[in-house]
Structure 1
Amino acid sequence: MKELLLTYRYELLYSLAVLFILLLIQFLLRTAANKVGRRGEINITRTRLMFKYINILIILIAAFLLALAWGVGLTDLSLIFSSVFAVIGVALFAIWSILSNVTSGIILFFSFPYKIGDTIKIHDKDLDIEAEIEDIKAFHLHLRTREGELVTYPNNLILQKAVTLKHRVDGKDEGKDAL
């Protein structure tokens, strides 16, 4: 065991340093997302969704840096990542609307002026919708009409349409305890 530790001491030290730094970065990003969530009174569920995105980003960076640390060459690593991203790119092109909705969900997290419980009107030439925001998900909004119908409205469309606030909820939502 001692021989193994001496043989790979630099790789192990580099790996520990990378993991420590990435955990620190993850903590800082999660703290920042939590502060944005609290300041904007964003629902806890939406804040936790941002935590998932942060975790995925950290895992990808860790995989790249640890592969470098353990001797995978930069050309081999670039070949692997370019192949993976090519496949992902083709898949995402085929399902671009999903990517668009996820990206819109991230934008809504940081800049959507309406909260869960607010009543909004979406001005659409085909179908005007006036409803209460019941939930804001990664791909769509859940809207409840006065008639009790549940409408799922894609996140990318909510950014493209004019939206009017009809009634704001006075109470605070659950975005205070995001940790």
Structure 2
Amino acid sequence: MQFVEIDSDMAGQRIDNFLRNQLKALPKSMVYRIVRKGEVRVNKKRVKAEYKLQAGDLVRIPPVTIPQEEENPGLSTKLNKVAELEDCIIFEDEHMLILNKPSGTAVHGGSGLKFGAIEALRALRPQARFLELVHRIDRDTSGILLVAKKRSACATFKHSFARRQYRSITLLL
């Protein structure tokens, strides 16, 4: 049994998203199942997947068996991409990381891809508790990618983009 006390950086997110972040290798369906069955508790009480965590909440995470993936023949290719992305980081501080994403690299896995820039950055920065994309750019597009290193920074950046305090410019060559 694992217990996690929610701090201000983790507060405000839904319990299902929190668990998906904590139990990255666990399929989404299993995350919802352990919440629905009451195996996950917040402050010793059952919660629904929509519950928003608050600072000071104590989350009980049950021991779970994570399904083993078959041996991945493309692992060395993924490791090479991770190493290449290290050279693409152009700025980093305690709030953000700015990456010059090369063309041909997806920003995140999905639609048949299990690996993208955000997964590579998480592999490069395992000590970073929170790494989240602020925006996305197409797989075949090279360009600057802003990654938040704190939940509060992510919310601030996304809010600024929404209010058009920042803007993105696309140049076609």
TM normalised by structure 1 equals 0.22
Max Rg structure: 1
Per chain length, whose mean CA-contact separation is higher, i.e. which structure has more relative contact order (CA < 8 Å, sep 6+)? 1
TM normalised by structure 2 equals 0.23
Structure with a larger share of its residues in helix: 1
